[in-house]
A = this chain, B = another copy of it.
Amino acid sequence: MNTIISIGRELGSGGRTIGRTVAMKFGIPYYDREIIDKTAEESGFAIDFVKSQEQKVSAYYKLCMGMSYGYGNQILSLSSQIYQAQVKVIKELAEKGPCVIVGRCADYILRDRDDLLRVFVYSDIEHRIKRAVNSYGMNEQTAKKEIQKSDKERARHYNLFTDNTWGSRENYDLMLDSGYLGLEKCADLICEVASQRS
């Protein structure tokens, strides 16, 4: 198996669990939060700051850009520095060999590689709320709000830095509804496709 697998995912879709399962089945590295540490190291920002800023662009940025006060540019500049550091980290990780990378525009960053399988995992809101309640201990109302907020933030971040549309089919090779398929089946299908390509 010589494939690098990027997994984009909606909050609550189980994309991270699926990614970990795939990585375990193949015995290859799984990169998710490890990327935060490496990005902090690369960019010189504190880990907590990277964690709070990566994979999202706040609505506040757009507001500030509209007001032309310059705050927007400052926020964008910080986001952009973090993104650029992540680009370098992700490209270096991919160079090391087959792996699973969750989120962080990896599908776009690594798009020129022939050994890339680009997956997106999604689900209807009911399954995602249920999963967020069970996995993160949220109540239903909070889970729904967090999911809606996360969708907006991830889409804004992805669309800003890639000029593509987050979750839109042209960016992915395989798109799986984890609510319908179940997490185990999603992992199986990804493994099957990744094995075939190698």
Residues of A within 8 A of B (CB): 117, 120, 122, 124, 167-170, 172-177, 180-181, 185, 189, 192-193, 196
Contact = CB atoms under 8 A, between A and B. Distances in A.
B173 A181 contact: yes
B169 A180 contact: no
B181 A174 contact: yes
Nearest to A188: B192
18 contacts: A117-B180, A122-B169, A124-B170, A167-B169, A168-B168, A169-B169, A169-B175, A172-B175, A174-B175, A174-B176, A174-B177, A174-B180, A175-B175, A185-B196, A189-B189, A189-B192, A189-B193, A192-B192
A179 to B, nearest CB: 8
A12 to B, nearest CB: 14
Contacts of A168: 168
Given A174-B175, A174-B181, A189-B192, A169 B120 contact: yes
Contacts of A177: 169, 172-174
